[in-house]
Amino acid sequence: MKTPLRIWITGASSGIGRACALALAGAGHRVWASARSLDQLESLSRETADLQGELIAHPLDVTAPEQVSACAKAMVETWGGIDVVIPNAGMGLFNPLQEAPLTEWHTMVEVNISGVLSTIHAALPSLLSNKGHVINIGSLAARQVFPNSGVYCATKHAVLAISESLRTEFRNDLAVTTINPGAVNTPFIDRTNNEELRANYRPQFDVGMTPEYVAEGVLFAVESRGKGVVSELTLRPDLRES
């Protein structure tokens, strides 16, 4: 049997992060699952009880750097190290630029950029000593800019730059993957406060990919160890069926 990897996922309470946690624990890996919603983490924990792998739920707000470093420390103390980190926690709060409250922009920057950086920073010493793997969750918005989501696109462009800087600085010690999904049918769009945009966009997400499909891509990247590195993976909905 292959050696189980010790994998830290943020934003594991919902959507893509939750699907990744289930797929990775189902494949026999050890998953350290974090997010703010304790009840959703506990339900995830119950769901993984019969799976081949192991899952420990650890509540975490990625915008609090001291919580992030304590979370990484707890994982290292419990399992002896970190092999893979997936800083997946992210938010898209869509609004026309001139209508958006500044707090929305700050929230996206704090979660999607600072949260990702804090997570990577906390995991990096262990990842480097284990020749580990960072799997960032970017977006089609990391390559393209769409109306009503300028700041979200900016944060995902930053995620891509973070991936590339890790890849170039640590090419002999770290594998780096960026997953760039198009629309995925998760509660992601329901977090947008602008009611009209939320209602207009929801149908695109309804016909989007399943989070389980994105998790298949993540599992493929994780299990490519020793064969190659999935540097970037772009996944789009298959519109032929809709």
Active site residues: 152
What are the DSSP calls for the chain, one per residue? -PPPPEEEEESTTSHHHHHHHHHHHHTT-EEEEEES-HHHHHHHHHHTTTSSSEEEEEE--TT-HHHHHHHHHHHHHHHS--SEEEE---------TTTS-HHHHHHHIIIIIIIHHHHHHHHHHHHHHTT-EEEEE--GGGT---TT-HHHHHHHHHHHHHHHHHHHHSTTT-EEEEEEE--B-SGGGGG---HHHHHHHHHHHHTSB-HHHHHHHHHHHHTTTTT----EEEE---GGG-
**How many residues form the binding site for ligand NJP (CB under 6 A)?**
35
The residue among 76 and 184 lying less far from ligand NJP, judged by its C-beta, is: 184
Q: Does 37 bind ligand NJP (CB under 6 A)?
A: yes
Task: Choose the binding region for ligand NJP from 34-42, 46-54, 195-203, 225-233 (rule: CB under 6 A).
Answer: 34-42
The residue among 129 and 144 lying less far from ligand NJP, judged by its C-beta, is: 144
Nearest-approach distance from CB 54 to ligand NJP, in angstroms: 20
| Positions in 130-189 near ligand NJP (CB under 6 A) | 137, 139-141, 181, 183-184, 186-188
For ligand NJP, which residue of 4, 5, 11, 22 counts as binding (CB under 6 A)?
Answer: 11
The residue ranges that bind ligand NJP (CB under 6 A) are 10-17, 35-37, 40, 60-63, 88-92, 111, 137, 139-141, 181, 183-184, 186-188, 191, 205, 208
